C-alpha cells in the first residue's frame, strides 16, 4: 500500500506533512547536502527581518536535559538578500517555501509581508509572534497579549497577497493559548503554527553565569513535546477547521503521527536537525511506514484522530 501523504494548510497544498521548523534549517541550503530538499513538504525559513542583524554575541546555544536553549537574536542577512539569493535557490531545488517573518514593530511586520508575498514561489507566510513589542514598557512579546498578536496578524493579512496563506506562530508560555489562537483566527490568520520555543534559563555551574548570552533563551527539543502536543490538541478542539503545523521536539515518524492525531495537518522538524541533518527525510520515511503499518491509506485521515471515539482513524 502506498499511503497518500498530501495535506493542506489553507490554500497551500503540500505533498506530505513533514516541514522544517523555523530557525533550524536556514533556508534549506544547509540540509540539501544530506537529502533532496524537494522531498519534504516544505522548508520553513529562519525568521526574516527587514534589515541585516548580527544577532547576540556568543554563546548562543546551550545543551539542556532533553533539549537545547538558544538565543540567536534574530541573526540574518535581511529580507532583500533572502528574496534575491536564498528563495530562488530553494525554488530551483524543487523546495516549497514557508517564509517566517519577525518585525520589530507592527508596521515592520506589514512591510515584510508585502515584500515577501510579492515574490513568486512563496507558499505561505509564518508570523513569528515571539518578538518583543517595542511599544510595551515591560518588553513583552506580541504573543503575550492576544489583542496585540491579533493586531500583528491583521496587519500582515492586510499587506500580504490574498492568495498567500498567513500562519500565526503561537507561544505556549502565555496565559491562555486557546484565547491567543482565537484572537489570531479572528484577525484572519489562515492557520496556526504551534508552539514556539519556551523561555527558559540554564546556568553554567563552572562559572555560575548564564549559559547563553542575555541570560534567557528559547527552550526546544523533546522536553517540550508533550506540552506542544497538548496545545495542538486544545486548539484543534476549539477550532477544528483551522489548519495547524505542530512543532516541538519531533525526532521520529511516530512523533509526527502523535501531533497529527492531536490535530496538526503538518509537523515541523526542528532541533534534531542540528544532530542529525538528514532527520527530515528519515522522519518522513518513518511516518510513511507508521501509516502503512496501521493500514491508514491517507495521512489526512489521522488529523484529529485523538479527538474521535474508538481508534480514531
Q: Which residues are catalytic?
A: 131
> What sign does the CA torsion over 309, 4, 25, 274 have?
positive
Cell of 183: 484572537
- Interatomic CA distance for residues 271 and 182, integer angstroms: 28
Within 13 Å, how many C-alpha atoms sit on residue 253's CB side? 18
The helix or strand, by DSSP H or E, that contains position 150, with its residue range, turns out to be helix 146-159
Nearest to 160 by CA among 194, 127, 184: 127
**How far lies 161's CA from each of 7, 104, 168, in Å?**
22, 21, 16
Q: Is 23 left (phi over 0), alpha (psi -120 to 50) or beta?
A: left
DSSP string, 101-115: E--SSHHHHHHHHHH
- Interatomic CA distance for residues 233 and 188, integer angstroms: 21
Cell of 311: 481508534
DSSP E strands in the chain: the ranges are 7-9, 12-14, 18-20, 43-44, 61-64, 67-70, 97-101, 122-128, 166-170, 191-194, 198-201, 203-204, 209-210, 216-220, 244-247, 266-269
Amino acid at each position: 500500500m502506498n499511503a497518500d501523504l498530501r495535506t493542506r494548510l489553507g490554500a497551500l497544498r503540500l505533498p506530505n506533512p513533514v516541514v522544517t521548523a523555523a530557525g533550524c534549517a536556514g533556508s534549506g541550503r544547509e540540509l540539501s547536502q544530506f537529502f533532496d530538499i524537494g522531498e519534504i513538504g516544505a522548508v520553513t525559513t529562519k525568521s526574516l527581518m527587514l534589515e541585516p542583524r548580527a544577532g547576540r554575541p556568543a554563546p548562543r546555544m546551550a545543551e539542556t536535559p532533553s533539549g537545547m536553549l538558544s538565543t540567536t537574536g534574530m541573526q540574518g542577512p535581511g529580507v532583500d538578500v533572502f528574496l534575491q539569493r536564498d528563495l530562488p535557490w530553494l525554488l530551483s531545488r524543487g523546495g516549497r517555501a514557508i517564509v517566517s517573518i519577525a518585525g520589530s514593530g507592527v508596521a515592520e511586520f506589514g512591510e515584510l509581508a508585502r515584500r515577501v508575498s510579492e515574490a513568486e514561489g512563496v507558499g505561505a507566510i509564518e508570523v513569528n509572534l515571539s518578538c518583543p513589542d517595542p511599544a510595551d514598557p515591560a518588553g513583552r512579546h506580541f504573543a503575550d497579549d492576544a489583542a496585540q498578536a491579533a493586531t500583528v496578524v491583521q496587519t500582515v493579512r492586510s499587506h500580504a497577497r490574498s492568495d498567500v496563506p498567513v500562519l500565526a506562530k503561537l507561544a505556549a508560555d502565555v496565559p491562555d493559548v486557546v484565547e491567543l489562537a482565537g484572537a489570531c483566527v479572528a484577525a484572519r490568520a489562515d492557520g496556526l503554527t504551534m508552539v514556539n520555543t519556551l523561555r527558559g534559563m540554564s546556568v553554567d555551574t563552572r562559572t555560575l553565569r548564564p549559559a547563553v548570552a542575555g541570560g534567557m533563551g528559547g527552550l526546544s527539543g523533546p522536553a517540550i513535546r508533550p506540552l506542544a502536543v497538548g496545545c495542538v490538541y486544545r486548539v484543534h478542539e476549539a477550532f477544528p477547521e483551522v489548519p495547524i503545523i505542530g512543532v516541538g521536539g519531533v525526532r521520529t515518524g511516530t512523533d509526527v503521527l502523535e501531533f497529527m492525531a492531536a490535530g496538526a495537518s503538518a509537523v515541523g522538524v526542528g532541533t534534531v536537525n542540528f544532530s542529525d541533518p538528514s532527520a527530515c527525510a528519515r522522519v518522513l520515511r518513518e511516518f510513511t511506514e507508521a501509516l502503512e503499518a496501521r493500514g491508514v491509506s491517507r495521512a489526512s485521515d489521522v488529523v484529529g484522530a485523538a479527538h474521535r471515539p474508538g481508534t480514531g482513524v
